């Protein structure tokens, strides 16, 4: 067994796996199962808390007392960071991307309730210099007596990767309990860390599943490079040689649609359809696009060689509220 870094325990784990009976039947392809990582907790729900358990432990070990991170205005990761910071007695500062004055709603509303300091920056600033902006904030907050720790977008870095390395161990245990083998695991990809952790765990444990990511922004080439970088960073933490190539990283490109956090009518309609079909609510930024992509790929026959697909619901419910005007009832 590989020795990985230690973590704090905050998430409600293990999260359950259930079969999507009606969706599987409707699509007429492989059996589709869903892992409910949207149920890791209320305030810090979703996939981000798994990564934060490792990142925040590292911050605590370094004697830090304030977490700085970044994301979009409806960032699940930013909200989860603010919640975990409050939970362990730290302060938080969030650098949020927006190009307009925002209504206090969804995750942004929760950020404020959780007491996070918030700095808004433009999409251009975010793309070109978010790390520099966070470093400047670190210097400013240090002068106020804080000892800040910077967590990159989505906690997608070496230490954060172990959240989903851990999750892959959990999935393998659940396979034994359920008497089933998932030959494909599908997730939304937004910053690469969740995919990286699953890929690394799958590789190290010789699990043999194929990991697919449906990108919610950027493109296939971007994420192959990003995931490669994140995995290589994580290897600095473990005494293990892991051989892999970027060609083994599977990205189902073509479902970004109008762009990050922007929804097309067919995506909203699909989210509504899944809610009525399975009683499960997907989010518009990540899981809605990813499941929409998976359903389309199954219809096209791309998964005909798979028997059991595990889709990981990475959360994001709160981001749906700011999209309520797009739904027609």
Which residue among 24, 45, 75, 263 is the active-site one?
A: 75
Give pTM, 2 decimals: 0.96
| Interatomic CA distance for residues 34 and 16, integer angstroms | 8
Indicate the class that CATH gives domain 48-155. alpha beta
Q: Which helix (H) or strand (E) holds 165?
A: helix 162-178
| Interatomic CA distance for residues 230 and 245, integer angstroms | 13
Indicate the class that CATH gives domain 17-45+159-326. alpha beta
| Interatomic CA distance for residues 198 and 106, integer angstroms | 28
Burial class from Cβ neighbours inside 10 Å (0-12, 13-18, 19+) for residue 328 reads exposed
**Residue-wise pLDDT tens for the chain (329 aa)?**
789 999 999 999 999 999 999 999 999 999 999 999 999 998 998 999 999 999 999 999 999 999 999 999 999 999 999 999 999 999 999 999 998 888 898 999 999 999 999 999 999 999 999 999 999 999 999 999 999 999 999 999 999 999 999 999 999 999 999 999 999 999 999 999 999 999 999 999 999 999 999 999 999 999 999 999 999 999 999 988 899 999 999 999 999 999 999 999 999 999 999 999 999 999 999 999 999 999 999 999 999 999 999 999 999 999 899 899 999 98
Domain ranges of the chain: 17-45+159-326, 48-155
Contact 195, 213 (CB under 8 A): yes
| Interatomic CA distance for residues 125 and 127, integer angstroms | 6
| Interatomic CA distance for residues 45 and 317, integer angstroms | 9
24: annotated active-site residue: no
């Amino acid at each position: 067994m590989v020795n990985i870094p230690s973590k704090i325990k905050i998430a409600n784990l293990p999260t359950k796996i259930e079969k999507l009976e009606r969706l599987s039947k409707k699509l007429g392809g492989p059996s589709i199962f869903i892992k409910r990582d949207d149920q890791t907790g209320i305030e810090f729900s979703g996939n981000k808390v798994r990564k934060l358990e490792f990142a925040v432990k590292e911050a605590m070990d370094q004697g830090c007392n304030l977490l700085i991170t970044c994301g979009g205005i409806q960032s699940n990761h930013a909200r989860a960071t603010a919640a975990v910071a409050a939970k362990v007695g730290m302060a938080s500062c969030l650098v949020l991307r927006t190009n307009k004055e925002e209504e206090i709603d969804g995750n942004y509303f929760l950020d404020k309730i959780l007491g996070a300091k918030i700095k808004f920056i433009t999409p251009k600033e975010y793309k070109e210099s978010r790390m520099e902006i966070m470093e400047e904030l670190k210097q400013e907050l240090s002068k106020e007596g804080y000892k800040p720790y910077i967590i990159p977008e989505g906690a997608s870095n070496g230490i954060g990767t172990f959240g989903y390395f851990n999750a892959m161990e959990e999935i393998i245990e659940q396979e034994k309990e359920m008497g089933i083998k998932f030959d494909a695991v599908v997730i939304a990809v937004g910053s690469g860390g969740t995919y990286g952790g699953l890929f690394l765990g799958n590789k190290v444990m010789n699990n043999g599943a194929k990991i697919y990511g449906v990108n919610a922004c950027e493109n296939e080439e971007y994420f192959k490079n990003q995931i490669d970088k994140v995995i290589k960073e994580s290897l600095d933490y473990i005494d293990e040689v892991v051989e892999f190539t970027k060609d083994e990283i599977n990205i189902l490109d073509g479902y970004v649609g109008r762009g990050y956090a922007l929804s097309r009518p067919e995506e909203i309609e699909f989210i509504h359809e899944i809610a009525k079909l399975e009683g499960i609510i997907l989010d518009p930024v990540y899981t809605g696009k990813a499941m929409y992509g998976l359903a389309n790929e199954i219809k096209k026959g791309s998964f005909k060689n798979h028997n059991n697909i595990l889709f990981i619901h990475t959360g994001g419910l709160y981001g749906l509220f700011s999209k309520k005007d797009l739904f027609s009832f």
